[in-house]
């Protein structure tokens, strides 16, 4: 089934999503319909191994592959809209060079929402995704609905002063299955002030120290999310002893998945949620 969908994805165009911003509804942030126990499967930028990252197509593929949650990156447009984007520029994942000649390396945040909606965010991945658009954060939440949890990364939040409050405002009241994280721990402290009841995660590129873990506890952090390359059972136990959980990124090879499962991590972020689901199902 998954192989068939991947092949079809390279051949069949997807329906375009509306450009209008969709208001968040209470149902959109409800607890995922499929609640599972054990290691949580988190789709990195959606199922980005099988669909263009940070798009609604990647959301649908992640749900098809039975992801528990979907991780996405949030930035802000020049006119103040929250959108799904990872890179600092649009060159890698859109046709910005053709649509806006000379602006390919301009900061992503220098474009308005109307400009971003003119870009093709799918063809770079495969012809079957031609016309896929950059979704707003609101469109993503509405489209995902209760089909999966949300793991929201504030991407380079120092570039977007006040984005912590804006994300908190769009989320509204805290709901199950929603977590906000960032490598910028100062930004996460600001987010904790804006939304103290929304679960927060701190991302780490290197192995977190005891002092950093203590700081996270004092800030009310619930998840410590380092690279799988610096994670082992000792770190998982150390984090758990402080009352927090551990999630690791970005695990794409089966031996690494098995090693992280054996280490006892609470969640694994992967480009291939279907592969991880198969590993977990034995």
Residues designated as active site = 44, 86
Which residues in 193-219 are b (16+ Cβ under 10 Å) and which e?
Answer: ebbeebbbbbbbeeebeeeebeebeee
**Tokens of residue 41, six digits:** 């499967």
CA–CA distance, 143 with 132 (Å, rounded to integer):
14
Query: Where is 32: in which H helix or E strand?
Result: none
Cα diameter, the chain: 53
CA–CA distance, 240 with 223 (Å, rounded to integer):
10
CA–CA distance, 103 with 91 (Å, rounded to integer):
9
Q: Could you tell me where the DSSP H helices lie in the chain?
A: 2-9, 56-64, 96-99, 113-116, 137-144, 163-171, 185-194, 210-219, 233-241, 254-263, 273-281
Q: Is the Cα torsion angle 194, 196, 201, 203 positive or negative in sign?
A: positive
State the DSSP code for 249.
B
Cα-Cα end-to-end distance for the chain: 18
């Amino acid at each position: 089934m998954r192989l068939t969908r991947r092949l079809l994805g390279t051949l069949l165009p997807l329906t375009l999503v509306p450009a209008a911003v969709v208001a968040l509804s209470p149902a959109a942030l409800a607890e995922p319909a499929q609640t599972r126990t054990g290691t949580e499967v988190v789709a990195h930028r959606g199922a980005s191994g099988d669909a263009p990252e940070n798009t609604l197509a990647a959301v649908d593929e992640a749900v098809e592959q039975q992801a528990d949650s979907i991780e996405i990156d949030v930035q802000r447009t020049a006119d103040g809209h929250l959108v799904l984007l990872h890179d600092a520029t649009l060159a890698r994942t859109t046709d910005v060079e053709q649509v806006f000649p000379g602006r390919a390396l301009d900061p992503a945040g220098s474009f308005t929402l109307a400009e971003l909606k003119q870009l093709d965010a799918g063809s770079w991945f495969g012809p079957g995704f031609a016309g896929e658009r950059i979704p707003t954060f609101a469109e993503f939440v509405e489209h995902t609905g209760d089909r999966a949890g949300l793991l929201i990364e504030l991407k380079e939040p120092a570039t977007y002063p006040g984005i912590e409050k804006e994300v908190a405002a769009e989320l509204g009241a805290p709901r199950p299955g929603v977590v906000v994280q960032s490598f910028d721990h100062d930004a996460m402290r600001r987010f904790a002030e804006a939304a103290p009841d929304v679960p927060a995660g701190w991302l780490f590129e290197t192995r977190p120290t005891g002092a950093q873990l203590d700081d996270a506890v004092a800030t009310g952090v619930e998840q410590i999310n380092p690279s799988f390359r610096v994670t082992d059972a000792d770190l998982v136990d150390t984090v758990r002893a402080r009352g927090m959980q551990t999630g690791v990124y970005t695990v794409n090879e089966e031996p690494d998945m098995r090693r992280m499962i054996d280490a006892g991590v609470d969640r694994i972020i992967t480009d291939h949620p279907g592969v991880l689901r198969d590993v977990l199902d034995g």
